[in-house]
Amino acid sequence: MPSTSPLNDNFIEIAASALRAGNLVAFPTETVYGLGADATNDTAVAKIFEAKGRPKFNPLIVHFPDMDSVEKVAELSPLANKLAALFWPGPISFVLPRKADAGLSLLVSAGLPSIAARIPAHEGARKLLQTAGIPIAAPSANRSGRISPTTAAHVAADFGEEVAYLLDNGPCAVGVESTVIDLTETKPVVLRPGGITAEQIEAAIGHPVDVASVNEENPKSPGMLLSHYAPQLPIRLNASAAKDGEALLGFGPSSAAAMNLSVRGDLVEAAANLFAYLHDLDDPKWSGIAISPIPEQGLGCAINDRLRRAAAPRP
């Protein structure tokens, strides 16, 4: 298990030094816990792929404390500046043209001429980024293909001493990953639904936004492979009731549910509970996890995206 420490000023200093020295540090954001490394250091970034067991080099989200630090590495169009003013800091990542002299490891872009940038809202994460003084590449802190972590215990269950420090600040408030939006072309495209909803983006830009469909053959974003977020148990979607041996993960009033994402049918509450409840129900005492229908609107789009991947055929 990695060494788990509370997220306070003392451990932020220690973790920031470990990051600058090229080591891995797991830390909370408002979406999920991230597995961080110095984004300017090839060896450090390579350690992320090794620790996660990523089958290939998918590009990583790079985290920054403020706009000045983003502007050093990426081109910001007027639209990018507008969306940044509205949604940063927050649960959204922008795919932007990468500056030639960005100084970031080429591995974070996995060969693409772009980078995915995010300024997280989580206070401790921003303090860590400020203290480290370097951009931090961080995918979700889970082994490749497994359920994303929303608590330090989830992270500790997946990793060992290859992670130098694990900063614990309790459960993540949003609970699903950031929205990934491609801003490299004139038309923005949502590559991954997440913490900022398509409806919020549409209200900001004044017209409907394209959402990339998941295509196993030719994923627009290399990380958009269909099977992902998989628990050990089989997943059955849009279930009205559990079959023999199955655990029902409910949404809305249901007396038969083993666990309920939100009894009052609240999508924000359901997103925050999603990964933790999947972790909890992924127990061999059940034969599978049946999941109640979730409305395809607002944060429900991000929840259903993760659930469809969890239910997809495994490689």
By the 10 Å C-beta count (0-12 exposed, 13-18 middle, 19+ buried), 17 is classed as middle
Nearer Cβ to Mg ion (140/273): 140
Q: How far is the CB of 142 from ligand TXA (least distance, A)?
A: 8
Q: Edge-to-edge strand order for the sheet containing 235-236?
A: 235-236, 288-291, 246-250, 259-260
Q: Helical H runs in the chain?
A: 9-20, 42-52, 67-71, 78-87, 123-132, 152-158, 198-205, 267-281, 299-311
For residues 90 and 33, the answer to whether their CB atoms sit within 8 Å is no
Instruction: Verify binding: residue 222, ligand TXA, rule CB under 6 A.
Output: yes
For residues 164 and 2, the answer to whether their CB atoms sit within 8 Å is yes
Query: Stretches 73-81, 173-181, 210-218, 239-247: which one binds ligand TXA (CB under 6 A)?
Result: 173-181
Judged by CB under 6 A, the residue of 119, 138, 201, 310 near ligand TXA is: 138
* Footprint of ligand TXA on 287-306 (CB under 6 A): none
Instruction: Verify binding: residue 144, ligand TXA, rule CB under 6 A.
Output: no
Judged by CB under 6 A, the residue of 24, 45, 59, 124 near ligand TXA is: 59
90 binding partner (options ligand TXA, Mg ion, none; Cβ < 5 to 8 Å by kind):
none
Measured in whole angstroms, the distance separating CA 189 from the mean position of its chain's CA atoms is 18
Judged by CB under 6 A, the residue of 7, 104, 118, 119 near ligand TXA is: 118
250 binding partner (options ligand TXA, Mg ion, none; Cβ < 5 to 8 Å by kind):
none
What's the full length of the chain, in residues? 315
Question: What are the residues binding Mg ion (CB under 5 A)?
Answer: 140
Judged by CB under 6 A, the residue of 18, 45, 70, 115 near ligand TXA is: 115
Nearer Cβ to Mg ion (194/250): 194
Q: How far is the CB of 54 from ligand TXA (least distance, A)?
A: 9
Instruction: Verify binding: residue 127, ligand TXA, rule CB under 6 A.
Output: no
Q: What is the CA radius of gyration of the chain?
A: 19
Instruction: Verify binding: residue 95, ligand TXA, rule CB under 6 A.
Output: yes
Rounded to whole angstroms, how far apart are CA atoms 90 and 71? 17
Instruction: Verify binding: residue 109, ligand TXA, rule CB under 6 A.
Output: yes
138 binding partner (options ligand TXA, Mg ion, none; Cβ < 5 to 8 Å by kind):
ligand TXA
Using omega within 30 degrees of 0 as the cis cutoff, is the peptide bond preceding 313 cis?
no
Rounded to whole angstroms, how far apart are CA atoms 8 and 92? 25
Q: How far is the CB of 94 from ligand TXA (least distance, A)?
A: 10
- Could you write out the three-class secondary structure of 2-30? CCEEECCHHHHHHHHHHHHCCCEEEEECC
Instruction: Verify binding: residue 114, ligand TXA, rule CB under 6 A.
Output: yes
Residues of the shown chain interacting with ligand TXA in the complex, contacts defined by CB under 6 A: 29, 31-32, 34, 58-61, 93, 95, 109, 112, 114-116, 118, 138-140, 177-178, 180, 191-192, 221-224
